[in-house]
């Protein structure tokens, strides 16, 4: 599968996080609210992600990640949390700014750099 856009990865991550908070699924309205986008934009993204086999989106039902979608979402979420923690705890960046920056960085940072951040914590915990 070709690389997803940052936006599509953000949708998967939002669905993943909302699924963890609730009953294993997410609603379009909650996804749109979390990402600060319209329901129309969210519906369009859900159609695209469904066609890519990354989620199950049946009309009038909640959205569920497929196994393939869950793997991508978990990786993106993991990177986000590691980066955010590093920015807050090591670089003393304001949590709101760190979260916003982590959201941008998570799409371009290498796995090696994320591993180095994790190793830093393992050595210093």
Residue 1: pLDDT over 80? no
- pLDDT digits over 50-92, tens only? 999 999 998 778 999 999 999 999 999 999 999 999 999 999 9
Residue 121: pLDDT over 80? no
pTM of the model: 0.88
Q: Residues for the chain: how many in total? A: 125
Residue 102: pLDDT over 60? yes
pLDDT of residue 123: 79
Cβ 52 vs Cβ 105: under 8 Å: no
- The helix or strand, by DSSP H or E, that contains position 46, with its residue range, turns out to be helix 39-51
Cα–Cα dist 117/22, whole Å = 30
pLDDT of residue 63: 95
């Amino acid at each position: 599968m070709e690389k997803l856009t940052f936006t599509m990865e953000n949708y998967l991550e939002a669905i993943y996080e909302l699924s963890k908070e609730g009953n294993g699924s997410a609603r379009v309205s909650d996804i749109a609210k979390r990402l600060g986008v319209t329901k129309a934009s969210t519906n369009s993204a859900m159609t695209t992600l469904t066609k890519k086999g990354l989620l199950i989106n049946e009309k009038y039902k909640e959205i569920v990640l497929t196994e393939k979608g869950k793997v991508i979402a978990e990786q993106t979420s993991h990177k986000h949390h590691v980066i955010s923690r590093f920015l807050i705890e090591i670089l003393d960046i304001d949590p709101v700014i760190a979260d916003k920056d982590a959201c941008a960085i998570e799409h371009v940072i290498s796995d090696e750099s994320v591993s180095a951040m994790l190793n830093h914590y393992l050595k210093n915990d």
